[in-house]
Amino acid sequence: MPAKTKFEVKLGPATREAFGRALVELGRENKDIVVCDADLSKSTMTTYFAKEFPDRFISCGIAEANMTAIGAGLALAGKIPFVSSFSAFAINKGFEQLRCSVAYPKVNLKVVGTHSGISIGEDGPSQMSVEEIGLACSLAGFVVIAPADEASTKALVRAAAAYVGPVFIRTGRPKCPIVYNGDQKFEIGKAIELVAGSGVTIIASGLLVAQAILASETLEAEGISARVIDMHTAKPIDREAIQRAAVETGAIVVAEEHLVDGGLGVRVAQVVAETHPCPMEFVGIHDTYAESGQPDELMDKYGLMARDVAAAARKVVARKR
């Protein structure tokens, strides 16, 4: 378990950028890696793969449903296909194919959504995907991943390529705080405890992991010992880590850049209810769509900052007492 040292916010590449770089590395190592994109390769960063392996890249046009079906066919032919678009398009437009052509036959397709959440910013609500964790988790047999930074994205993209079965990975547009160095090991379905704590547990994913660490430092200064867990895999979820947090700290906050209805918080709450009920609070987007604006302004307006996580922790600790 890492020692408690002050967390310095240093921005690294966006998780979409890390995904694009990881794809190229995988492509060099394995000729069965193929990539499909829906006319957004310069934004999803699959353009890196397309430039180096043009014969293994398929531009499907603005046709996410068809792209998903093509990817499923490539998987059935023995390839390891990655299909990518903005999360709002990959999930919403391709959902029927994800259900019938991927989940039901359990094909080995990897789906990567970029520009997730409200941190996409100025592109506005039509392209802000705030439902995809819930939708992806509803697909039987799918693994669902939301990495926090560059290092975790690269490692989890590799893990997804090695895993036999359908996977959805959620990545984002903006540069994100560096949480991990290159030494951390990642495993699908295994959460990572970043900060030790005994008074409350903050379970977070994606951009909210860094905010959770910052919140834990604020709380520590107030005499509240806050554990921070990066729950990078929403499905299969790390039941053991959740149960242990409930037993040992007696209060849980879940923080995510997603609608609280149907997101990671619901997945965590289900485990808590089944194993060791305790007070919970939820930091996320509450039954609304966001406006268009600067990413930082939106994260601030919709309550996705460290201060919001800390406020939820104080509230849940008070309920515990």
CA 121 to chain centre: 17
Query: At a CB cut-off of 8 Å and minimum separation 6, what does 179 contact?
Result: 148, 149, 151, 152, 194, 209, 210, 213, 230
Phi and psi (nearest 5°) for 262?
Answer: 95, 0
Query: At a CB cut-off of 8 Å and minimum separation 6, what does 60 contact?
Result: 36, 37, 38, 39, 66, 67, 70
Out of 17, 64, 150, 256, the active site residue is: 64
Cα separation, 228 vs 231, in Å, equals 9
The DSSP bridge pattern shows strands 11-14 and 143-145 to be: unpaired
275, 165, 186, 256: CA torsion to nearest 10? -60
The DSSP bridge pattern shows strands 233-235 and 143-145 to be: antiparallel
Cβ(264)–Cβ(208) below 8 Å: no
64 is catalytic: yes
SS3 label, residue 177: strand
SS3 label, residue 248: helix
Q: Which two tokens stand for residue 298?
A: 């939106």
Enumerate the active-site residues.
64
